[in-house]
Amino acid sequence: CVLLAVVGVTALRAWARLGRRELFLMCFSVLPIAALLCLSLVQRVEPNWSAAFYPAGVTLVVGWLLGQTSGLPRVAGGESALRRAVVVGVICVAVTYAVGFGAGLEGTPLDPAIRLRGWRLVGQDVGRRFATLPKPEESIVVVSASRAIASELAFYMPGQPPVYVWPEPGGPRSQYDIWGGPRDARGGDVMIVARRGEESARALRTAFKSIEPMADVVVPIGDNPRHELGLWHATGLREWPAPANRSAPSDERLD
């Protein structure tokens, strides 16, 4: 990371002397990463957004340290610096994986795998509640919380029943919005999943003939953080909202 920042600044200062290969690598590494860095100052930026730009950045760094770039000053001891960078990278990766699997940090803010923990138990618990519906084989799951919860349930619930995300106003926010809703669930049973105590859109309440609370699912993953979901049994789905006719959110709760 440090070497990429150094070669980026060096290349920007020598921009007029760079060859075509170096300009290509800069345009697909340093420049977009710098743009995302600026964007992160005004809004939330996910770490994976920059992942596509690191292969070009690694290529540029290695070429620079081995003296294979045009227009950039040669680096004294570049090969040794590259070896040290590789060793540091391997150590960091090993420590990250080791901490994720143990080291007594499970469930703490220092746990790098905390976002991955607990979902198997959540899926199993929600699956047991789902099996109590009158006809679970003909029922679906509708998540009003987030695509992350929907994807975890779709993977970990026993039998992997159909899972959909209730569309929010303001246009597509994830692949679930592009896939759309159920095509043959009118009048059927639905399990609604939301974060416990979360506000729900009025359109979700009015889309069913009845909504009754089922249970709360709480799965601890450490001293403080935990997964907390509320489950409701809904019947009589009238119509899945079209993307262009999404309703505004309400301050009402599913209770």
Q: Which has the higher per-residue pLDDT, 196 or 13?
A: 13
- Is residue 33 over pLDDT 80? yes
Helix 30-39 with 2-13: angle, nearest 10 deg: 110
**Which residues, at least 6 apart from 34, have a Cβ–Cβ distance to it below 8 Å?**
8
- Is residue 154 over pLDDT 60? yes
3 state SS of 233: strand
Neighbours of 22 (CB within 10 A): 21
**Helices (H), ranges, the chain:** 2-13, 20-27, 30-39, 54-65, 78-101, 119-130, 147-156, 175-179, 202-206
**Which residues, at least 6 apart from 92, have a Cβ–Cβ distance to it below 8 Å?**
none
* Arithmetic mean of pLDDT, 177-186: 76
| Cα distance between residue 161 and residue 137, in whole Å | 8
Q: Binning pLDDT at 50, 70 and 90, where does residue 250 land?
A: very low
- Is residue 244 over pLDDT 70? no
Across the beta sheet with 226-235, what order do the strands follow? 163-165, 140-143, 190-195, 226-235, 210-220
**Which residues, at least 6 apart from 6, have a Cβ–Cβ distance to it below 8 Å?**
none
CA atoms within 13 A on the CB side of 214: 26
Q: Binning pLDDT at 50, 70 and 90, where does residue 43 land?
A: very high
For residue range 58-70, what is the model confidence (pLDDT) as tens digits? Answer: 999 999 999 999 9
- Quote the tokens at residue 107: 């469930």
- The share of the chain scoring above pLDDT 90, in percent, equals 47
3 state SS of 33: helix
Burial-class residue 37 by CB neighbours within 10 Å (0-12, 13-18, 19+). Answer: exposed
Q: How much is the pLDDT for 185?
A: 61
Q: Which has the higher per-residue pLDDT, 107 or 230?
A: 230
For residue range 200-240, what is the model confidence (pLDDT) as tens digits? Answer: 656 677 888 888 889 899 998 876 668 899 999 998 887 77
Query: CA-based Rg of the chain, rounded to a whole angstrom?
Result: 25
**Helices (H), ranges, 114-244:** 119-130, 147-156, 175-179, 202-206
| Cα distance between residue 87 and residue 7, in whole Å | 19
Measure Cα distances from 130 to 97, 136, 159, 233 in Å: 34, 6, 11, 9
- Is residue 168 over pLDDT 90? no
Q: How much is the pLDDT for 251?
A: 37
CA atoms within 13 A on the CB side of 148: 7
Q: How much is the pLDDT for 224?
A: 67
**What average pLDDT does the structure give for the chain?**
85
Q: How wide is the angle at C-alpha 117 spanned by C-alphas 115 and 120, nearest 5°? A: 125
